[in-house]
Amino acid sequence: MKILVTGGAGFIGSNFVYYMLDKHPNYDIVCLDALTYAGNLKTLDGALKNPKFKFVKGDIADRELVFDLFEKEEFDIVVNFAAESHVDRSIEDPGIFLKTNILGTQTLMDASRKYNVKRYHQVSTDEVYGDLPLDRPDLFFTEETPIHTSSPYSASKASADLLVQAYHRTFGLPITISRCSNNYGPYHFPEKLIPLMIANALNNKKLPVYGEGLNVRDWLYVEDHCKAIDMIIHDGKVGEVYNIGGHNEKTNIYIVRKILELLGKSEDLITYVTDRKGHDLRYAIDPTKIKNDLGWEPDTMFDDGIVKTVNWYLENKSWWEEIISGEYQDYYEKMYSNR
């Protein structure tokens, strides 16, 4: 079995590479990644020592490169993680989100058709469903919830999902789609809530909480997401969408306080800043379908996962310190200085 993992130098893709090399030692894994600001080859140091793993630098929207790679490697399965993934960046500059997330997906699917890939799996997000009200804890996203997006990021991911479903219906491409809730864990880029708050707290910098910190996210430990995708590509039904989430809803301020508590830092570091434009209120996944059809459930509960995550950032300071000492500083200044 040969699997193409796109975006494997990013947060979830790299965790998936390690998960698959460990779980299926006889599989060949090829990672295609453009190494944008979010991609980091150092993250794949361990995988690069494994003869069953190969890294290729390239853009998923580069047709020539993608078609050449598919012709040469004859992939059985494609798992597309590659994306521009940060909502705040999509509000600043939507263009690259459309190119990578929509046209990149189209390019990969065109190549998958031409070279008869047995399964094309699209890694999507719960953000395609928009948001839920804060005062209706009885409501959850199911696979039937209408697509209703808020940010350029979520609109680009939803566009890609529709295109993936169109390629299945029109061309018979054997696809599956997964829509997961917020992930956390090792190798999470420090522009996102949890790693940003850990890094700032460790550096005794202010922790910028948007609005009143009452927005709710449904957090899942990254390895549980990887396990779900592994199950879907092997046992999922072609043409289907699977929601992934572990019923773990928390307000942002709860998360920030928890991180401060684990690090023994003062809550005086919290600063409330101007809210994100169009800020989604609440995400909450109903994972009944993947539980019933594939027997998936999460292994890591939040109280353990957040301790593991904080410890990982403590033990791997060089990984994130190198990131935040580079061009990230310009990003941080632009995003947070006038908030």
Binding residues for ligand NAD (CB under 6 A) = 6-7, 9-13, 33-36, 38-39, 59-61, 81-85, 100, 104, 123, 125, 157, 180, 182-183, 189
Question: From the list ligand DAU, ligand NAD, none, which binds 36 (C-beta under 5 to 8 Å, kind-based)?
Answer: ligand NAD
Which is closer to ligand DAU, CB of 75 or CB of 320?
320
Tell me if 328 contacts ligand DAU by CB under 6 A: no
Check: CB of residue 132 under 8 Å from CB of residue 86.
no
Question: From the list ligand NAD, ligand DAU, none, which binds 140 (C-beta under 5 to 8 Å, kind-based)?
Answer: none
Is position 126 annotated as part of the catalytic site? Answer: yes
Query: Rg of the chain's alpha carbons, rounded to an integer?
Result: 19
**Which amino acid belongs to residue 249?**
E
Give the nearest distance from C-beta 43 to ligand NAD in angstroms.
8
Report the alpha-carbon distance of residue 240 to residue 238 in Å, rounded: 6
On the CB side of 231, CA atoms within 13 Å amount to 21
Give the nearest distance from C-beta 60 to ligand NAD in angstroms.
4
Question: From the list ligand NAD, ligand DAU, none, which binds 227 (C-beta under 5 to 8 Å, kind-based)?
Answer: none
Give the nearest distance from C-beta 98 to ligand NAD in angstroms.
11
Check: CB of residue 181 under 8 Å from CB of residue 4.
no
Check: CB of residue 34 under 8 Å from CB of residue 59.
yes
Determine phi and psi for 220, rounding to 5 degrees: -130, 135
Question: From the list ligand NAD, ligand DAU, none, which binds 202 (C-beta under 5 to 8 Å, kind-based)?
Answer: none
Report the alpha-carbon distance of residue 187 to residue 85 in Å, rounded: 14
Is position 153 annotated as part of the catalytic site? Answer: yes
Check: CB of residue 122 under 8 Å from CB of residue 164.
yes
Which candidate in 153, 184, 187, 221 is catalytic? 153
Which candidate in 33, 127, 191, 280 is catalytic? 127
Determine phi and psi for 34, rounding to 5 degrees: -80, -5
Tell me if 131 contacts ligand DAU by CB under 6 A: no
Question: From the list ligand DAU, ligand NAD, none, which binds 119 (C-beta under 5 to 8 Å, kind-based)?
Answer: none
Neighbours of 90 (CB within 10 A): 22
Check: CB of residue 278 under 8 Å from CB of residue 151.
yes
Which is closer to ligand NAD, CB of 61 or CB of 269?
61
Tell me if 5 contacts ligand DAU by CB under 6 A: no
Task: Please name the residue that has the structure tokens 């998360």.
Answer: 255
Query: Would you please indicate which residues are annotated as catalytic (active-site) residues?
Result: 126-127, 153
Q: By the criterion CB under 6 A, which residues form the site for ligand DAU?
A: 85-87, 125-127, 181-182, 192-193, 196, 208-210, 215, 217, 252, 276, 283
